């Protein structure tokens, strides 16, 4: 199967392209995009991988589902397209970044600047139907993105995984914690941010780990 994805990831995930589950997933996604409004735009389904090659990943942030309102999703978890109002979880993320690192509190909501520095902004499910949160869950994306996490854990060293909320924290089982730093906290949603997301210092802690392991820190 011919998949348009960044070359290093295409090789890292080569075992998946002809798997029956992925063939069925690709057929499902094609049908959904041809018959309904879906997000992100088709050309940005693999944007998280395209923006952050396999051998350049330093930090992984895991989300669950793309934004499902028009114009929001740009293929990077928690990120929005330029000029789009920031959803509440993203507002809280940028607030914690500012409190933790001194970055501007009014920083843009498009997080491509992070991805270009080695932050893989990965949703567990890469597509969604408009206004139907979770509508593409359970069709194979989770198996695919779990494989991506495992490949990073197995083939790379000294990465940082930021897992926010119970869904993301459940992915700890995929990560070799003897080789990588795993930081967990409540989700940045307004429903839970005050229960421990604010003040988690994940961004400065990630940078300290990177510096301690001979890598350049992220300019958050």
Q: What is the dihedral of CA 13, 16, 21, 22, to 10 degrees?
A: 70
> Cα–chain-centroid distance for residue 205?
18
d(CA 24, CA 183): 34
Placement of tokens 């005050």 in the chain: 194
d(CA 198, CA 210): 22
Whether 65 is catalytic: yes
d(CA 220, CA 218): 6
| 112 closest CA partner among 202, 48, 39 | 48
From 7, 65, 82, 176, active-site residue: 65
Type and span of the H or E element at 163? strand 160-164
Q: How far apart are the first and last CA of the chain?
A: 37
Give the other-Cβ count within 10 Å of 30's Cβ: 11
Type and span of the H or E element at 105? none
**Which residues share a beta bridge with 184?**
163
Alpha helix positions (H), the chain: 7-12, 20-35, 47-51, 88-101, 112-115, 141-155, 165-169, 202-212
Catalytic residues: 65
């Amino acid at each position: 199967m011919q998949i348009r994805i960044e070359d290093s990831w295409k090789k890292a995930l080569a075992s998946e392209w002809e798997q029956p589950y992925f063939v069925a997933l690709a057929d499902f996604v094609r049908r959904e995009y041809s018959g309904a409004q879906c997000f992100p735009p088709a050309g940005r389904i693999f944007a998280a991988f395209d923006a952050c090659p396999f051998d350049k990943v330093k930090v992984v942030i895991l989300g669950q589902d793309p934004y499902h309102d028009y114009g929001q999703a740009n293929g990077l978890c928690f990120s929005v397209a330029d000029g789009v109002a920031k959803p509440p979880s993203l507002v809280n993320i940028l607030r914690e970044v500012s409190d933790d690192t001194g970055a501007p509190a009014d920083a843009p909501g498009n997080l491509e600047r992070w991805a270009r520095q080695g932050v893989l902004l990965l949703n567990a499910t890469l597509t969604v139907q408009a206004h139907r949160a979770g509508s593409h869950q359970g069709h194979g994306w989770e198996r695919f993105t779990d494989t991506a996490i495992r490949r990073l854990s197995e083939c790379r060293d000294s990465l940082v995984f930021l897992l926010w909320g119970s869904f993301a924290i459940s992915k700890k089982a995929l990560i070799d914690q003897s080789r990588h730093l795993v930081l967990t906290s409540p989700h940045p949603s307004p429903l839970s941010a005050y229960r421990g997301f604010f003040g988690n210092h994940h961004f400065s802690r990630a940078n300290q780990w990177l510096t301690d392991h001979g890598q350049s820190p992220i300019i958050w």
